[in-house]
Structure 1
Amino acid sequence: MTYTGWAAGSRITTTRLNEISGIWIPYTMSWTGTTTNPAIGNGIIEAEYALVGGLCTVRGNVTMGSTTTYGSGQFQFSIPFMAATLGHADNHWVGSATSIDRGAAWFPGQCRVASGTNYAQCISSTTAGGGTPTEWNPTRPFTWANTDNLSFTVTYEPA
């Protein structure tokens, strides 16, 4: 989607009014991998966003199914609008994330949207083995399986 900010003379429509009122709007979130894409199979992907004051807040949720495949490379989740460019290439819009290894443990994490991109990535502060923090992928922060879950929330400025 393309984001169009409000300015003097903007026409009010139902869609535009919903966009600035903080109403949660569902959208179809894509789940991709930096090398090979995962496939949700019989799992569930849910996502919604709300626009308030020129900022977009996104909530994403993925529950793995018995036929979910995990691809390869770092997981990426589409966001509804391209993110604004920040002052430095290493700057990110940052949010929170949680992953649940059903029946074993849960891992708090962060969610980031890199400057000028259209996707979010999740990062854990540690891996299941206590290793170096890194983006979530098929084996980080643990090896994903049926009923495992990941969720994130991030607020960013649309471009």
Structure 2
Amino acid sequence: MTSTDQQLLGAIRRRTVQAAADEPSVRGGDWRQATVASVTGNGTVVTTDGTEARRLETYTNPAAGDLIRVDSNALGDRTTPGRVAGSVVDPPWAAYTPAWTAATTNPTVGNASRAGRYQLIGRTCHVAIRLVPGSSTAFGSGAYLFGIPFPVAEDIVEYVGSARLTAGSTYIGQCFASPTATAVNVTFPASATPATAANMTQVAPATFANGHVLRLNLTYQTA
């Protein structure tokens, strides 16, 4: 066999091995690591090499740049259980606009500034709200409620967070989310002795007015 024949035979062998590796019915099931390029809306991710893999329920909060495991079977189906150890990066905080309602008459936001931020890690949601009434804000009447980004889980526990109102003086209170709630109510001390609390309204704990600042923070389990 000449050297040319040997080179040709070697090339054929290498091509055969590569073709078999590329053919799922030949290679059977396997797994590999890959980097996520994009996340689709149908429960899959697309890797940087163009592979689309369906996410298992364990893979929450997928994001571009995740280093994941991709499993393949002999039929070419691809799934991913999620990120590999050491590659987990907490998802970024996202913006949303919190609803502002009241028990009797809803406020009219006008030129008020409403800002909400949240971070969702699995079913744990961290949320922060900042509200600054404006000159054209109408304050409504009755106990205030402020919308959260996701409904609260249906459970036997409630979730309590912090509240801070700057209205001439500074008032420290709490926000409260009950099971299945889509909004939190806010309470501030109504008296010092005994220590009791009352729902926040336009006139409690102080008259809510243009330029005042309400801040809320809460962590809860989503539905």
**How much does 1:21 deviate?**
2.5
Work out which structure has the larger RCO, using CA pairs closer than 8 Å and 6 or more positions apart in sequence: 1
User: In structure 2, which of residues 57, 70, 77 is the aligned counterpart of residue 7 of structure 1?
Assistant: 57
Distance 2:200 2:57 in 1: 39
Instruction: Give the direction of change, closer, same or farther, for the CA distance of 1:93–1:63 in structure 2 (3 Å limit).
Output: same
Bigger strand fraction: 2
Instruction: Give the direction of change, closer, same or farther, for the CA distance of 1:64–1:84 in structure 2 (3 Å limit).
Output: same
Matches within 5 A, 1:44-59: 44-59=113-128
**How much does 1:23 deviate?**
1.1
- The number of residues matched between the two structures is 146
2:220 match: 156
Instruction: Give the direction of change, closer, same or farther, for the CA distance of 1:39–1:54 in structure 2 (3 Å limit).
Output: same
Distance 2:128 2:191 in 1: 23
Contact preservation (8 Å) 2:124, 2:222: yes
Matches within 5 A, 1:63-78: 63-78=132-147
Instruction: Give the direction of change, closer, same or farther, for the CA distance of 1:69–1:10 in structure 2 (3 Å limit).
Output: closer
1:98 match: 164
2:50 match: none
**How much does 1:113 deviate?**
0.7
AA paired with 2:214?
L
Distance 1:10 1:148 in 2: 38
Bigger helix fraction: 2
Say which SS state the counterpart of residue 187 (structure 2) adopts.
Answer: strand
Say which SS state the counterpart of residue 190 (structure 2) adopts.
Answer: coil
Q: Structure 1: which 5+ runs fail to align?
A: none
**How much does 1:122 deviate?**
1.1
User: In structure 1, which of residues 133, 136, 144 is the aligned counterpart of residue 197 of structure 2?
Assistant: 133
Distance 1:158 1:142 in 2: 32
1:47-82 CA-partner distances (Å, limit 9, x unpaired): 011012420011001001111111111111111111
Q: Structure 2: which 5+ runs fail to align?
A: 1-42, 44-55, 65-81, 83-88
Contact preservation (8 Å) 2:162, 2:216: yes
AA paired with 1:55?
T
Matches within 5 A, 1:26-65: 26-65=95-134
2:28 match: none
1:114 match: 178
Distance 2:61 2:129 in 1: 30
Distance 1:60 1:54 in 2: 19
1:24 match: 93
1:99-123 CA-partner distances (Å, limit 9, x unpaired): 011xx20100111111111001111
User: In structure 2, which of residues 188, 191, 204 is the aligned counterpart of residue 124 of structure 1?
Assistant: 188
Contact preservation (8 Å) 1:127, 1:140: no
AA paired with 1:27?
Y
Larger Rg: 2
Share of identical aligned residues, percent? 30
Instruction: Give the direction of change, closer, same or farther, for the CA distance of 1:138–1:22 in structure 2 (3 Å limit).
Output: same
